[in-house]
Structure 1
Amino acid sequence: MLQINDLTFDAWGRRFFDHASVSVPPGAKVGLVGRNGVGKSTLFKLILGELPAGDGEIGYPKQARLASVDQEHPATPVPLLDTVLAADVERDRLLAALETAEPEQMGEIYARLSEIGADRAPSRAAEILSGLGFRQDDLARPMAEFSGGWRMRVALAAALFAEPDILLLDEPTNYLDLEGALWLESRLKKYPHTAVVISHDREILNNSCDHILHLIDGKLTLYPGGYDAFERQREEKAKVQEATRAKVEAQRAHLQSFVDRFRAKASKATQAQSRLKMLARLPPVSAVAIEHTTPFVLPSPDRPLAPPLVRLEGVTTGYDGVPILKGMNLRLDLDDRIGLLGVNGAGKSTFAKLVAGALPAMTGHLARSARLKVGWFHQHQIEALDPDDTPLDIIRREMPEASEAARRSRLAQYGLGAAKVETRVENLSGGERARLLLNLVAAEAPHLLILDEPTNHLDIDSRRALLDALNDYQGAVILITHDRSLMELVADRLWLAADGTIKPFEGDMDDYARFVVERAKQAGKAPTQIRAAEPDPPPKPAPARAKVPTGPARRRAEAAEAALARASQALADIDRALTDPGVFAENPAKAADLGRRREAAQAALEAAELEWLEAVEAYEAMKG
């Protein structure tokens, strides 16, 4: 369906593609992956003809329809549902033709409308819009009433409804909430034609894609399977490549050694020349390219606070006297990892502001530890950055007493090296700005981290680095994200924002995903009921399926393992000292002290082993 042959493309002083070739099978769902800035979006523009291709060829069938979602839908007076329906150009044209058709032509037009399922189009469009977060009473609203972010969703809905032969999606989940991302994951899996998706969402790449297209060093390589399969295949490929390189280099060294030793000897000249020809024929094998990802720095609080960190009893909050969230009864402790669910507009960001201290409670009782330090990351921080600032300007304000060398060292820890520290913010990538702010909000070792869509600009390796840092962080976390993988691997408990309040959700992410997909299907059954009632909140699953919070047990097991490693190392250090004969000969008192310390270290090791065994058994039992 999509064929790229020997593509070479240079622009903006660099080479994006270097004799790249790939063949995408018809009907494939392909995840296009690669580091930020390698040229993934550029490839889409080349396929669409928005950039003049250099050398090489990009081909697909002449009759194939292409579509992408790269800008929001215009703010027109046309109603939402009609806007999406108009994306099916043939249906729109046939309906218009009916207005002026002669009687003898109408039969043919109606037959074609029936063939393309025109009567089901409103239902299908309504289901797509519901899945992307629109309400039933939005369907009759004109496009001009929606914000830019919602018009981006309309553009995505129109592309999915039109079902082009080749669908190109560039980070489609960046302007979706978790509910929209869950629905899109299910929809892409069933898409009837070829789709190529640029995404850093591991769940979409695993569950919706049957191929991964990797862009690195200007080359394109297609791997079968999802992202996990791609990682395994790439790791195996790297091992084979490294083994081949080592073998070739060893053979090269052996041949070169022979040539160096015998080139000057007449009796060996022929053999030496033969070895030189063999050297020239040895294939070049490049070393495996290692892509380094800078870790995040999320220091844990020095001293734990007495529980609870935050307690809400009948709390209502909102803006300008208008309540948004009512009657909340919740408690947050130091070891809590809360995943906050709910559609856009349900009050998740309002709750984050309340807990962060940026919004007061209107009624009820909100208790918070007096020494509580909160690190709060939200997307508006990235938008509010002064475009003329540099990372060095920002860190100077954050570290006014530090030396210039210390500031630069801190920025290097954040992944901003010497070449970036004096770059203006407007010229930094979204990922670099997100990294800077994420590290800054955690710089003072807060007791609570509130992360509102932290992964929007991070590539998949940076998301894994953030996950690792959060699992090492010894404080409380409230996470709002459309990244299902991050939510599942960080959150121990789920809270749901719905019906004007926030309550614990007693299911897991699989339960919630099923609810989201089913809600969209139900909405599509009656698209003309513009003022249909709101869907019921998700039903609570049976107690046997309830997810047991395992975070505290997991962190106890991790802490016990670390304590065991320290105890083992301490005993090993003492044993090493006791093996020195000079200790007994020159300092008998020190030798006696070492003996006593060894007994204590051995006892500490045994206690650590017992605690580790108990912690691991408890964690495994809870997981089971």
Structure 2
Amino acid sequence: MNAFSLPARDRAQLTCADVRVDRGGRTVLRHVDMKVSPRSRWGVVGENGRGKSTLLHVLAGVLAPDEGSVQRVGTLALAEQEMPAEDDRTVGDVIDEHLADARAALHCLDTAAAALAEELPGAEREYADALEAAQALDAWDADRRVDVALAGLGAVDDRTRRLATLSVGQRYRIRLACLLGAEYDFLLLDEPTNHLDLEGLDYLTARLRAHPGGVVVVSHDRALLSDVATTVLDLDPTSDGRPRVYGGGFAGYREGREAELLRWEAEYEEQQSEHARLQQSLSEAQNRLSTGWRPPKGTGRHQRATRAPALVRSVHRRQEDLEQHRITAPVPPRRFTPPELPARPGVVLLHAEEVTVAGRLHRPTSLSLTSGDRLAVTGPNGAGKSTLLSVLAGRLVPTTGRARHARKVRLQLLGQESPHTTRRRANDVYQAHTARLVTTGVLRDSEVTALSSLGLLGSRDADKPVAELSMGQQRRLDLALALAARPHLLLLDEPTNHLSIALVDELTDALKATDAAVVLATHDRQMQRDIRAWPRLELPLPGPREESLAG
């Protein structure tokens, strides 16, 4: 028996039927049906916390559903959003783990070849089987495929490097390259475009489009979904509580989703009108019961006695009609409502002059910002975009040059990764943050914005421990904390990471309209298209001389 798994190729199938998952007393997935076949590419969308990552865990067999079934034929790999903070493995260890089947197949082939050379009984059959397995895995080419993927994603290819010495983004790119190189039947990818620059995004898009197996991508990256997805599963609420599946790719999803919402809203308005009519009818019947059935003076007692029960029955009938009439209210999407950010006319909020950071920001960089200014910082991974924003925020001292802030300027940096792992409730974290802003004199009490008014977290999620929030929900909290200080200058490092499609659109509109100055570093291709009119600061990778000086 082989100690490795062979791909099923054209016979591969990944299906789930009527899947339901409950967590923490709440149903996070229900009535989910999917059929993923070779060369199909599914996009999974929905607001943060709708169970998209949970669905990938169910498909991968990491999590058993509370109801429904999952069938898997073929090999699969799951790339989750999070990477372990502590990891003693080397780059080579990770590659070996993903290419274990190819390694085992070649080992079996070598063993079978030796047995064949010695003319052992059954050696011919064993050799034929081993050769077929190695060919099915294309085992001889496995390392080259991974090397190509590492280069395409801009990942470290030194197999001796320890993961603990690399950034989160580098570790993520290494794992993604291994998944692409191993050629699994199914790739289950959770926000795969995080930590990729434009070249890496183009490479990933091309590889996913060419992948011979099935792909399921959970993503808020509008450009990736437009370029890759052929079918979209929408986990956002619907009128009947069932997820929707849209053909026609991302464009088909957007058109279908809008039509779905319009139908739902129209039905809701009709139900509201009918509810109001029944309420009015009941009220009129109750009025007649209390006053209208009393006949004029002199009317016979018999007539009064016969009319009263009829009116009582009429009231009861209308009460029953009203109780039976249920309104299925559409759940309106939360709308991001940012606080008004102030301007300081005529003041240079920040001035950076010839700043560099050894080994991280190589080219001397200068800039000045006043209220209302916009700046897009672009460049490949490793060019120093995050480093520059940290210098501008005052969190990192430059090796050369200086960055000066105006007196009493309010400046906030939204970093790439959420720093929160606390068990405190999200609402408590936010309230403690705003209380510190008031105590230290940054804000007046009248300037404090309630978390609920921002439209970033619902009341249920705001009452959860931060550690139990999804990465997207934690990202929403990070954004709320950054905006709470009403900054004059907002520095945003990959702000679309983990955020929903609708929220990214709303955030982009808000950034265009605010009076505050905004500096934005992003690889999000759609956002770059949306802010193409902004001034740009392109940071290049270091040249050979700069690299030698840094070393």
Paired AA for residue 78 in structure 2: S
Match of 1:461 in 2: 502
Match of 2:297 in 1: none
- How far has the Cα of 1:202 moved from its partner? 1.3
- The farther-off stretch of 68-77 and 221-230 is 68-77
CA distance in 1, matches of 2:31, 2:478: 38
Instruction: Label 1:2 to 1:380 Cα distance change in 2 as closer, same or farther (>3 A).
Output: closer
- How far has the Cα of 1:96 moved from its partner? 0.9
Match of 2:98 in 1: 87
Residue 397 of structure 1: which of 436, 451, 456 is its match? 436
Instruction: Label 1:249 to 1:361 Cα distance change in 2 as closer, same or farther (>3 A).
Output: closer
CA distance in 2, matches of 1:328, 1:174: 26
Q: Does 1:411 align with 2:451?
A: yes
- How far has the Cα of 1:302 moved from its partner? 3.8
CA distance in 2, matches of 1:88, 1:474: 53
- How far has the Cα of 1:396 moved from its partner? 0.7
- How far has the Cα of 1:125 moved from its partner? 1.0
SS of residue in 2 equivalent to 1:219:
coil
CA distance in 1, matches of 2:406, 2:89: 52
Residue 103 of structure 1: which of 96, 111, 116 is its match? 116
1:199-218 matches, within 5 Å, as: 199-217=219-237
- How far has the Cα of 1:240 moved from its partner? 3.5
TM-score by length of 2: 0.72
CA distance in 1, matches of 2:26, 2:235: 15
CA distance in 2, matches of 1:391, 1:129: 40
- How far has the Cα of 1:214 moved from its partner? 0.7
Match of 1:325 in 2: 362
Contact kept in structure 2, 1:377 and 1:437, CA below 8 Å: no
- How far has the Cα of 1:304 moved from its partner? 4.0
Match of 1:127 in 2: 148
Residue 296 of structure 1: which of 338, 341, 359 is its match? 338
SS of residue in 2 equivalent to 1:345:
coil
Match of 1:47 in 2: 59
Unaligned runs of 5+ in 2: 1-12, 118-123, 286-305, 308-313
- How far has the Cα of 1:213 moved from its partner? 0.3
TM-score by length of 1: 0.65
Match of 2:4 in 1: none
Contact kept in structure 1, 2:350 and 2:404, CA below 8 Å: yes
Paired AA for residue 223 in structure 1: Y
1:287-346 CA distances to partner (integer Å, 9 max, x unpaired)?
Answer: 44321223222514142436x95363xx25225xx7742343556565553322334433
Paired AA for residue 301 in structure 1: A
Instruction: Label 1:460 to 1:380 Cα distance change in 2 as closer, same or farther (>3 A).
Output: closer
- How far has the Cα of 1:352 moved from its partner? 1.4
- How far has the Cα of 1:76 moved from its partner? 5.8
Contact kept in structure 2, 1:72 and 1:153, CA below 8 Å: no
Identity %: 31
Kindly tell me the number of residue pairs found equivalent between the two proteins: 481
Match of 1:524 in 2: none
Q: Does 1:480 align with 2:521?
A: yes
- How far has the Cα of 1:24 moved from its partner? 4.2
Paired AA for residue 526 in structure 2: S
SS of residue in 2 equivalent to 1:349:
helix
Contact kept in structure 1, 2:374 and 2:519, CA below 8 Å: yes
Contact kept in structure 2, 1:451 and 1:480, CA below 8 Å: yes
- How far has the Cα of 1:411 moved from its partner? 2.7
Instruction: Label 1:129 to 1:447 Cα distance change in 2 as closer, same or farther (>3 A).
Output: same
1:25-77 CA distances to partner (integer Å, 9 max, x unpaired)?
Answer: 543211111122222222222223333322322234xx322221236489466
What is the root-mean-square deviation of aligned Cα atoms in Å?
4.4
CA distance in 1, matches of 2:271, 2:479: 45
Contact kept in structure 2, 1:391 and 1:424, CA below 8 Å: no
CA distance in 2, matches of 1:115, 1:428: 42
CA distance in 1, matches of 2:243, 2:375: 39
Instruction: Label 1:24 to 1:444 Cα distance change in 2 as closer, same or farther (>3 A).
Output: same
- How far has the Cα of 1:188 moved from its partner? 1.9
Q: Does 1:192 align with 2:216?
A: no
Match of 1:346 in 2: 383
Match of 1:11 in 2: 23
Contact kept in structure 1, 2:378 and 2:539, CA below 8 Å: yes
- How far has the Cα of 1:103 moved from its partner? 3.4
Contact kept in structure 2, 1:391 and 1:421, CA below 8 Å: no
Instruction: Label 1:154 to 1:232 Cα distance change in 2 as closer, same or farther (>3 A).
Output: same
SS of residue in 2 equivalent to 1:393:
helix
Instruction: Label 1:158 to 1:285 Cα distance change in 2 as closer, same or farther (>3 A).
Output: farther
Contact kept in structure 2, 1:301 and 1:445, CA below 8 Å: no
Instruction: Label 1:3 to 1:112 Cα distance change in 2 as closer, same or farther (>3 A).
Output: closer
Instruction: Label 1:257 to 1:433 Cα distance change in 2 as closer, same or farther (>3 A).
Output: closer
1:448-471 CA distances to partner (integer Å, 9 max, x unpaired)?
Answer: 321112233422222222111101
- How far has the Cα of 1:286 moved from its partner? 3.8
Match of 2:10 in 1: none
SS of residue in 2 equivalent to 1:27:
coil
Contact kept in structure 1, 2:226 and 2:250, CA below 8 Å: yes
Q: Does 1:64 align with 2:74?
A: yes
1:201-236 CA distances to partner (integer Å, 9 max, x unpaired)?
Answer: 111121111111011345221101333431221111
SS of residue in 1 equivalent to 2:519:
strand
Paired AA for residue 229 in structure 1: G
Contact kept in structure 1, 2:338 and 2:510, CA below 8 Å: yes
CA distance in 2, matches of 1:359, 1:249: 57
CA distance in 1, matches of 2:503, 2:517: 21
Unaligned runs of 5+ in 1: 266-271, 502-530, 535-624
Contact kept in structure 2, 1:452 and 1:481, CA below 8 Å: yes
CA distance in 2, matches of 1:487, 1:252: 47
Instruction: Label 1:205 to 1:429 Cα distance change in 2 as closer, same or farther (>3 A).
Output: same
CA distance in 1, matches of 2:399, 2:170: 30
